């Protein structure tokens, strides 16, 4: 009998002929997070992944596995021979271990046979194991509808027995669905947007805009800290830090005051697109939520969209602040996001920003600006950081 960690995946199993590409990427992502945690072995066995790890690292390894996209459940398991007597004996032993920790009285045996050649079938094996437990212990009863504990038996190349399914985030393995550039502010929304798109298998880079010295260095450190939290889910992140101050000064001097926010936003998108094309990134990602602020009306988003040709992914567009905040707390970015450091959007903030902008009016105002030079100058002076978990 060996102790292993079993990993179940949901959507990945539905990928047909492409399934092995997703599975292999998931295995690589698991190996990456297991580095520095002693001797580990990761292997696939009939639509599941198993990890042999040193006992002292298992708790931390399971904690990290929960943050790997593509994983649905994680189970500390026993790997035993496919022998009915062995299965019965270890099922009882495992159930006694659960009772010693939680004082449970009812149980259910749940059998899954990936190896259909194994006999008896799943229903018969569950009955046999259940009967053995009842005959060789005291105080247990079977409850097939609402048991206090499950005995899960997976019949594959080997047999695996476990009682616990630790829920993970699901989704698709990062690196299987292209690349995205996240416009990362210091607020609550954009880190959540990055998390949600990474969960769909997208490899994330990020661009942050600041207005130093009008905004502080601590504000930028806060963004780096948010990026570092995201790396727990996405892996390393390349962070581009762009000073927007000169552009904001030009807009403030030469454009109508009420268009400051929307024109600044268009510059952010243009700069992001330039960086994305240079880095061979497929899409931009924003944390916009419809109606949340002045630039996030339908007309405002339409004007912002028209400044770029790359697809813009907005995973939060139909969510309200409460929903977004709940996710930020769950993924651990909330406490950092609410630190009271200013961001570039507070610089030259108009008293009454336009909320129903017309594209032709905005483009007319932008004629007063040397758009290309302002974008190129900002990119030339940007700093680049590699943020690692």
163-166's contacts with Cβ under 8 Å and 24+ in sequence apart are 163/94, 163/95, 163/97, 163/98, 164/75, 164/76, 165/8, 165/73, 165/74, 165/75, 166/62, 166/66, 166/73, 166/74, 166/75
Q: Is the pLDDT of residue 216 over 90?
A: no
Cα separation of 194 and 182, whole Å? 6
Q: Is the pLDDT of residue 344 over 80?
A: no
**Could you tell me which of 247, 250, 244, 268 has the C-alpha nearest to residue 190?**
268
Cα separation of 140 and 149, whole Å? 11
Burial code (b: 16+ CB inside 10 Å, e: under 16) for 288-300 equals: bbeebebbbbeeb
DSSP per-residue string spanning 216-235: -HHHHHHHHHHHHHHHHHH-
Query: Which pair of structure tokens corresponds to residue 308?
Result: 């770029």
Q: Is the pLDDT of residue 349 over 80?
A: no
What's residue 145's pLDDT? 95
What's residue 194's pLDDT? 98
What's residue 15's pLDDT? 78
Q: Which segments of the chain does DSSP mark as H helices, in order?
A: 19-33, 58-65, 84-102, 122-135, 189-198, 217-234, 245-254, 260-278, 298-305, 321-331, 334-337, 359-366, 371-380
Average pLDDT estimate for 374-386: 96
pLDDT digits (tens, 9 = 90+) for 123-175: 999 999 999 999 999 999 999 999 999 999 999 999 999 999 999 999 999 99
pLDDT digits (tens, 9 = 90+) for 54-92: 999 999 999 999 999 999 999 999 999 999 999 999 999
The SS3 call for residue 15 is: coil
Percent of the chain at pLDDT > 90 equals 84
Q: Is the pLDDT of residue 341 over 80?
A: no
Dihedral sign computed on CA atoms, order 153, 66, 192, 175 = negative
pLDDT digits (tens, 9 = 90+) for 271-329: 999 999 999 999 999 999 988 776 788 999 999 999 999 999 999 999 999 999 999 99
What's residue 340's pLDDT? 81
Dihedral sign computed on CA atoms, order 113, 119, 121, 125 = negative
pLDDT digits (tens, 9 = 90+) for 184-207: 998 999 999 999 999 999 999 999
- Higher pLDDT among residues 46 and 329, named by residue: 329
The secondary structure element, H or E, covering residue 288 is: none
Read off φ and ψ for residue 181, nearest 5 degrees: -105, 115
Q: Is the pLDDT of residue 345 over 80?
A: no
What's residue 226's pLDDT? 96
pTM above 0.95, yes or no: no
**Other C-beta atoms lying within 10 Å of the C-beta of residue 41:** 11
Average pLDDT estimate for 113-129: 95
Residue with tokens 């690349």: 179
Average pLDDT estimate for 266-271: 97
What's residue 292's pLDDT? 74
The secondary structure element, H or E, covering residue 281 is: none
- What value does the mean pLDDT of the chain take? 93
pLDDT digits (tens, 9 = 90+) for 222-263: 999 999 999 999 999 999 999 999 999 999 999 999 999 999
Query: Which pair of structure tokens corresponds to residue 8?
Result: 């179940």
The SS3 call for residue 264 is: helix
Read off φ and ψ for residue 52, nearest 5 degrees: -95, 125
């Amino acid at each position: 009998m060996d102790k292993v960690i079993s990993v179940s995946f949901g959507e990945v199993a539905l990928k047909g002929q492409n399934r092995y590409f997703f599975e292999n990427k998931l295995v690589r992502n698991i190996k990456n997070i297991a580095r520095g945690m002693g001797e580990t072995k990761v292997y696939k066995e009939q639509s599941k992944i198993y990890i042999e790890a040193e006992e002292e690292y298992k708790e931390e390894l399971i904690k990290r596995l929960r943050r790997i996209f593509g994983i649905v459940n994680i189970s500390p398991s026993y790997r035993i021979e496919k022998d009915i007597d062995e299965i019965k004996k270890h099922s009882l032993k495992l159930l006694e271990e659960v009772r010693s920790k939680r004082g449970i009285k009812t149980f259910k045996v749940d059998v899954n046979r990936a190896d259909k050649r194994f006999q008896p079938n799943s229903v018969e094996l569950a009955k046999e194991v259940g009967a053995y437990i009842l005959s060789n212990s005291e105080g247990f009863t079977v409850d097939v509808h609402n048991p206090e504990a499950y005995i899960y038996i997976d019949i594959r190349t080997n047999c695996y027995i476990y009682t616990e399914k630790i829920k993970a985030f699901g989704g698709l393995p990062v690196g299987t669905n292209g690349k995205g550039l996240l416009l990362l502010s210091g607020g609550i929304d954009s880190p959540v947007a990055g998390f949600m798109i990474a969960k769909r298998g997208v490899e994330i880079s990020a661009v942050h805009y600041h207005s130093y010295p009008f905004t502080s260095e601590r504000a930028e450190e806060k963004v780096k800290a948010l990026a570092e939290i995201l790396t727990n889910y996405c892996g390393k992140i390349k962070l581009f830090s762009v000073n927007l101050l000169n552009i904001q000064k030009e807009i403030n001097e030469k454009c109508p005051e009420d268009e400051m926010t929307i024109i600044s936003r268009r510059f952010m998108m243009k700069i992001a697109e330039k960086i994305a094309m240079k880095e061979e990134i497929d899409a931009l990602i924003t944390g916009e939520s419809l109606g949340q602020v002045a630039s996030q009306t339908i007309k405002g988003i339409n004007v912002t969209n028209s400044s770029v040709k790359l697809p813009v992914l907005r995973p939060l567009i139909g969510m309200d602040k409460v929903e977004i905040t709940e996710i930020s707390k769950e993924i651990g970015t909330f406490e950092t996001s609410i630190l009271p450091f200013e961001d570039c959007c507070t610089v030259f903030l108009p008293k009454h920003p336009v909320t129903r902008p017309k594209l032709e009016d905005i483009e007319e105002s932008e004629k007063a600006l040397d758009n290309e030079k302002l974008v190129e100058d900002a990119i030339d002076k940007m700093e680049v950081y590699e943020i690692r978990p």
